[in-house]
């Protein structure tokens, strides 16, 4: 029985649930439901995060009734001794514990040096946990969904999921803070291929028993109607099929490793990850110099997001 119980726990169970829409972030709602964080980039990127007033004035953040666009500046040649390229990082005012977040994304930042992420975290990192829902660098893999936690949180082998695990120890203090990540199974989940296809939907479900991430490309035949229907009042994750990333609580007490988290959407350039693998990802020269001198190469370094919907 015990062996059966352990095996069963590695298979995404259909025990989940129906959740109701609590926050429907669309267009102008992003300007009140999220804060623009004009902070120093904790990952040492070649960016200068601007506040909401500046972002709107410079049209780095633009909203219409059904769209938010957030981009890096693509017109200014930077002085090597001055601040980095203007960019945007937004954080939800509200925090969430057990919930489902659906990201309807039309376009994500692409190009050499870009390091975009849509993710969740809380205070006193990594004690509140971190869930990277979609993240990648320089248009390349590993584009992955990853947990970063305090010690004593690992993922077992044999998990049933459509993605490919990278590391299994989620502890942010080991493996150079690689976390426990799962690579998306399809090429259209990230970067230029994602954008050429019109983007798609990422969804993350967090409970105290598991965290799951799904991705459906635009025009997917299998996207659930409660995901693809704009403003759907509720979602039933039991009908969503196998997630590509499944993080069970078998060897990680999720309840004590994850606190209330904010949703964050950011775009940094170079920095600890994108800068370190700039050349091995096929980009030439020095990442910081490239960012300084080639503003027009950042024309496609923008998010176009139709909605972020949170269900609790």
Scanning 20-28, 201-209, 246-254, 289-297 for contacts with ligand NAG by CB under 6 A, the matching segment is: 246-254
Q: Measured from the CB of residue 296, what is the shortest distance to ligand NAG in angstroms?
A: 15
User: Is 59 a binder of ligand NAG (CB under 6 A)?
Assistant: yes
Q: How far apart are CA 142 and CA 137, in angstroms?
A: 8
User: Is 51 a binder of ligand NAG (CB under 6 A)?
Assistant: yes
In the block, tokens 């049209």 appear at: 59
Answer for which of 29, 162, 187, 294 binds ligand NAG (CB under 6 A) is 187
CA dihedral 137, 139, 144, 148 (to 10 degrees): 10
Is 120 a residue of the active site?
Answer: no
User: Is 60 a binder of ligand NAG (CB under 6 A)?
Assistant: no
In whole angstroms, how far apart are CA 286 and each of 79, 280, 289, 293, 296?
15, 12, 5, 11, 17
User: Is 169 a binder of ligand NAG (CB under 6 A)?
Assistant: no
Q: Measured from the CB of residue 231, what is the shortest distance to ligand NAG in angstroms?
A: 18
Answer for which of 9, 24, 29, 62 binds ligand NAG (CB under 6 A) is 62
Which residues are bridge partners to 135 per DSSP? 117, 144
From its phi and psi, is residue 176 left (phi > 0), alpha (psi between -120 and 50) or beta?
left
Q: How far apart are CA 107 and CA 186, in angstroms?
A: 16
10, exposed or middle or buried, with CB in 10 Å at 0-12, 13-18, 19+? middle
Q: Which of 130, 140, 205, 293 is catalytic?
A: 130
Q: Kindly tell me which of 18 and 208 has the beta carbon lying closer to ligand NAG.
A: 18
Answer for which of 48, 92, 128, 143 binds ligand NAG (CB under 6 A) is 143
Q: Kindly tell me which of 219 and 234 has the beta carbon lying closer to ligand NAG.
A: 234
User: Is 117 a binder of ligand NAG (CB under 6 A)?
Assistant: yes
In the block, tokens 């960012």 appear at: 291
User: Is 141 a binder of ligand NAG (CB under 6 A)?
Assistant: yes
Is 130 a residue of the active site?
Answer: yes
DSSP SS3 for 9:
helix
Cβ–Cβ < 8 Å for 104, 306: yes
Contact residues: ligand NAG, CB under 6 A: 18, 41-43, 45, 51, 53-54, 59, 62, 69, 89, 117, 119, 132, 135, 139-141, 143, 152, 183-184, 187, 189-191, 193, 236, 238-239, 251-253, 266, 268
């Amino acid at each position: 029985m015990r062996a059966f119980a352990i095996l069963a726990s590695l298979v995404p169970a259909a025990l989940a649930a129906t959740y109701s829409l609590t926050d429907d972030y669309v267009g102008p709602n992003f300007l009140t439901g999220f804060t623009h964080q004009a902070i120093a980039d904790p990952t040492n990127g070649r960016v200068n995060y601007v506040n909401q007033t500046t972002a709107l004035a410079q049209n780095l953040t633009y909203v219409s009734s059904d769209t938010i666009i957030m981009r890096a500046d693509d017109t200014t040649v930077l002085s090597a001794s001055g601040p980095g390229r203007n960019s945007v990082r937004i954080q939800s005012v509200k925090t969430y514990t057990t919930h489902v977040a659906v990201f309807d994304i039309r376009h994500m930042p692409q190009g050499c040096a870009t390091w975009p992420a849509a993710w969740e975290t809380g205070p006193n990192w990594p004690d509140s946990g971190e869930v990277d829902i979609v993240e990648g660098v320089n248009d390349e893999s590993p584009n992955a969904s990853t947990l970063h936690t305090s010690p004593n949180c690992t993922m077992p082998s044999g998990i049933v999921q459509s993605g490919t695990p990278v590391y299994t120890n989620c502890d942010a203090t080991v493996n150079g803070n690689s976390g426990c990540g799962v690579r998306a199974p399809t090429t259209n989940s990230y970067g230029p291929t994602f954008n050429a296809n019109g983007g798609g939907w990422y969804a993350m479900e967090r409970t105290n028993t598991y965290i799951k991430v799904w991705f459906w490309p635009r025009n997917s035949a299998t996207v659930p109607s409660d995901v693809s229907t704009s403003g759907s009042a509720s979602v039933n994750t039991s009908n969503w099929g196998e997630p590509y990333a499944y993080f069970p609580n078998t060897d990680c007490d999720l309840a004590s490793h994850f606190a209330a988290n904010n949703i964050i959407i950011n775009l940094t350039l170079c920095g600890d990850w994108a800068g370190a693998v700039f050349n091995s990802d096929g980009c030439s020269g020095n990442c910081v110099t490239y960012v300084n001198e080639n503003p027009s190469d950042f024309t496609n370094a923008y998010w176009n997001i139709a909605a972020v919907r949170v269900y609790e």
